[in-house]
Amino acid sequence: MYAALDIGGTKIAGALVDDAGVLRGRAELPTPARESASRLADTVDAVINALALHPAWGTVRGMGIASAGPVDTANGTVSPVNIPAWRAFELVESVRAHPMLFDGIEPVLIGDAVAVAAAEHWRGAARGAANALCMVVSTGVGGGYVLNGRLHPGPSGNAGHIGHVSVDLDGPPCACGSRGCVEGYASGTAIARHALRAGWTPPPGREPSAAVVAESARAGDTRALAAYDRSARALAAAIAGSATLLEIEVAVVGGGVARAGEVLFTPLRRHLRGFAVLDFTRRLTVRPAALAQDAGLVGAAAAARGHVPQEVTA
């Protein structure tokens, strides 16, 4: 059994995960994202307390922590963009100091999108793939790579930040400081913004969001379809770039926006044929993510199990 934590800007989730990657116990608290570093750490401790009540806690052999990034896995610190009080916060040290953690258990830190890649490779849509990219398209856009059958977190755990690869030299400035980033076209935030700018309005009483844009697209609204087409084009360029550089065979796309289904995947596959043009890139397949909300927890457990950056065994 492994203990897993998934720390995001909205919630702090924890679970016990068995050797087959199945969740056995789960706990969750809202992230006090605007509060102090120590209040945040108390919330992580409270989630661990809840897990420690589970009858299987005594069989825990390792702990993985997936966190919103940037992370610094070499130093065990996190600086999540959406959690301002944590800058170079010593998360691994803080978790290790929890009184319920057994001696000898060394928490393993992993970025949240890299965790999703680990999870999809262990028991999801990238299972069995030697070279894969897993993208998380939600409020932002993240990603992680499996290369030569192994997770590739990179030296600081941040490899795969595909949302901040530029696909437009003269594109709009991005919050990261660059311009024309994939995230500015492909994220749920960008889809809603683009649709609104094109004159789309949500149905009465609904907030504008990528989810509502998807409903309009399904009903044939051309502005909503155009917003998804633009997102799909940016994703296709990024995926094709990865295939060209790294010979990835599989691209898995998950996150809330992937729930749009064919509204996203049909234009994505079409645009990919325009970008992935060299012979060796043409075998690339795009698949929706197989694991839903709990991919981060499963990936954290995969990290604990495989001791990232070593092999994540199948």
Residue 309 CB, nearest approach to Zn ion (Å):
25
Which residue among 143, 157, 255, 299 contacts ligand ADP (CB under 6 A)?
A: 255
Residue 106 CB, nearest approach to ligand ADP (Å):
28
Secondary structure string (H, E, C) spanning the chain: CEEEEEECCCEEEEEEECCCCCEEEEEEEECCCCCCHHHHHHHHHHHHHHHHCCHHHHHCCEEEEEECCCEECCCCEECCCCCCCCCCECHHHHHHCCCCCCCCCCCEEEEHHHHHHHHHHHHCCCCCCCCEEEEEECCCEEEEEEECCEEECCCCCCCCCHHHCECCCCCCECCCCCECECHHHHCHHHHHHHHHHCCCCCCCCCCCCHHHHHHHHHCCCHHHHHHHHHHHHHHHHHHHHHHHHHCCCEEEEECHHHHHCHHHHHHHHHHHHHHCCCHHHCCCEEEECCCCCCHHHHHHHHHHHHCCCCCCCC
Residue 112 CB, nearest approach to ligand ADP (Å):
8
Q: Judged by CB under 6 A, does residue 268 bind ligand ADP?
A: no
Residue 194 CB, nearest approach to ligand ADP (Å):
12
Q: Judged by CB under 5 A, does residue 176 bind Zn ion?
A: yes
Residue 153's binding partner among Zn ion, ligand ADP, none (Cβ under 5 to 8 angstroms by kind) is none
Q: Judged by CB under 6 A, does residue 25 bind ligand ADP?
A: no
Which residue among 80, 188, 299, 306 contacts ligand ADP (CB under 6 A)?
A: 188
Q: Judged by CB under 6 A, does residue 184 bind ligand ADP?
A: no
Which residue among 21, 184, 256, 306 contacts ligand ADP (CB under 6 A)?
A: 256
Which residue among 257, 297, 301, 302 contacts ligand ADP (CB under 6 A)?
A: 257
Q: Judged by CB under 6 A, does residue 216 bind ligand ADP?
A: no
User: Which stretches of the chain bind Zn ion, using CB under 5 A?
Assistant: 164, 174, 176, 178, 181
Return residues touching ligand ADP (CB under 6 A): 10, 138-139, 188-189, 209-211, 214, 255-257, 259-260
